[in-house]
Amino acid sequence: MTRQKREKVFRFIIGLILTLIYLIPIYWMITTSIKPVDQIFQKPPLFFPNGFQFDGFKQIFGIETGRGELYINALVYLKNSLIIASSTMILSLLLAVPAAYALSRFDFRGRTSYVLFLLVAQMLPSVLLVIPLFVIFKQWGINEYSYLSVILADTALALPFAIIILRTSFMQIPIEIEEAAWIDGGSRLQVLYYMILPLIKAGLVAVSVFSFLIAWGEFVFALSFLQNPELHPISIGTFQFVGMYKSNFDSMMAFSSIVAIPAIVAFLLLQRQFISGMTTGAVK
């Protein structure tokens, strides 16, 4: 076997191991959701369940199971999460595009410091931002009975990364393209919208997916800012199945499987654009 073939085999084995590390928890989550309850904690664990039951899925959609347990309608949590995640994605794009364009095209005092600030800000955990944001929202009169507080908080969490990614995407577009369009009579906004944004579609997709998933799975902000249970997203809804004396693990895993579907579908459909957008400007 030649050296190149050995390297390919080695890379394939490493890739297969890493893939299994990521897929086994997903497989275990799905199989646990359809296992009979008496098989969930069986020792040794059953990798392939003997028989199936769908009481967990019935419970999360409010269908009678005859088990005398709490019934939770997952559609309400899904609706809330879709509203929060979609709004966060749109707001992040609206703010990140002009900010990233300005950082890539205009030379102003403090630009380097601002980029450094963005790099530091994206590393801050959400727990560190809860109290300052809570005080700010109280001063602004944003109450805990609307989605607005969580949308703004999730946007603040996703925005630094979005600006950095889009800035590198803008920097890949030669300024001569814009100058030629300006000579033809196009304004800066027209050139940005009709010429530049279509050229950085991969970066826009990466930022959109990232912002959506940040808001989709965020827990701390939703728990801190939303007091109305009817507005809770799926990240909080998962814990409705955990009780003091008993936890419905089959229902919890069924709910988690539903939660994971949008993230998996989004990545499978947009993985090429997402990876391209994430790696744009990496050589620079």
pTM: 0.80
**Cα gap 30→34, rounded to integer Å:** 7
Architecture of the domain delimited by 74-279: Orthogonal Bundle (1.10)
Residue 282 has pLDDT above 60, yes or no: no
Q: Give start-end residues of each CATH 1.10.3720.10 domain in the chain.
A: 74-279
pLDDT of amino acid 237: 79
What is the longest distance spanned by two Cα atoms in the chain? Answer: 74
Note the pLDDT tens digit of each residue in 43-100. Answer: 777 788 777 777 777 777 766 555 545 556 778 888 899 999 999 999 999 999 999 9
Closest of 3, 18, 27, 29 to residue 251, by C-alpha = 29
Do the beta carbons of residue 241 and residue 247 sit within 8 Å? yes
Note the pLDDT tens digit of each residue in 162-193. Answer: 998 888 888 888 888 888 888 877 788 888 88
Closest of 62, 55, 127, 74 to residue 234, by C-alpha = 74
Do the beta carbons of residue 258 and residue 74 sit within 8 Å? yes
What is the average pLDDT score of the chain? 81
Give the pair of three-digit tokens for residue 43. 């020792």
Contacts for 245 with CB less than 8 Å, ≥ 6 apart: none
- CA 38, 40, 41, 45 torsion: positive or negative? positive
